[in-house]
Amino acid sequence: MNMSNEFANRKPDPLLIVISGPSGVGKDTVVQRMKERDFPFHFVVTATTREKRGSETNGKDYWFVSKDEFARMIEANELIEYAIVYGDYKGIPKWEVREALETGQDVVMRLDVQGAETVRKLAPQALLIFLTCENEDELERRLRQRKTESNDSLSLRIATARKELQRIEAFDYVIVNRDFHLDDTVNKVRAIIDAEHLRVQHRKVSL
């Protein structure tokens, strides 16, 4: 088999894809649209100790667990990463990611900036995509518009988001998620993933 045939017939290694960025940039919305468009990825569900909101579904949006159960998962080393986010714990179950990668599926995770950087330390070949707004004023407007926080919590979230915007150099790609251009953002995410599968040297993820 010559070299061109070898590359034409090879199967891409599965990617570990992290969609990240500050609160308010639309991480959840982007991942939800990817699901709606039936992208062939395994979407990891994050475990959290925070209370379920409105229409959220356990096992679909998050795994909602008690603090005692989360502590057990930490002690048993069952999480890829975990962090305290605004007073609540969030973490990624290892078994879910490993099983998906073993089947050859690309795995997509939505994480805050701190979580994304933790994954990069554990899996240096992970693909990190940073979502952002057009500017800091737009980010603050989106956070205020959500009206899901007390004034104190909102101030903390805005200050944290501004700091997180400075961590962009730790990521592989950046996408500006503009208002009313959701599908354009999703198309760019898909284009990045498609391009990664065409690399001569594939990312080989191990956990």
Helices then strands, each counted (H, E), the chain:
8, 9
Per-residue pLDDT reduced to its tens digit, 152-171: 677 787 887 888 888 899 99
Domains of the chain, first to last: 3-44+105-197 (3.40.50.300)
Q: Which residue of the set 37, 53, 72, 178 is catalytic? A: 53
Per-residue pLDDT reduced to its tens digit, 14-35: 999 999 998 889 999 999 999 9
Q: Which residue of the set 37, 144, 146, 199 is catalytic? A: 146
Is the pLDDT at 124 greater than 60? The verdict is yes
Respond yes or no: is residue 72 known to be catalytic. no
Scan for tokens 């179950």, then name that residue: 93
Confidence of residue 131 (pLDDT cuts 50, 70, 90): very high
Respond yes or no: is residue 203 known to be catalytic. no
Residue 93 or 149, more confident: 93
Respond yes or no: is residue 53 known to be catalytic. yes
Q: Which residue of the set 110, 120, 142, 157 is catalytic? A: 157
Residue 192 tokens read as 């990045």
pLDDT of residue 150: 64
Confidence of residue 115 (pLDDT cuts 50, 70, 90): confident
Q: In angstroms, what CA-CA distances link 82 with 15, 25, 54, 140, 148?
A: 21, 21, 24, 26, 23
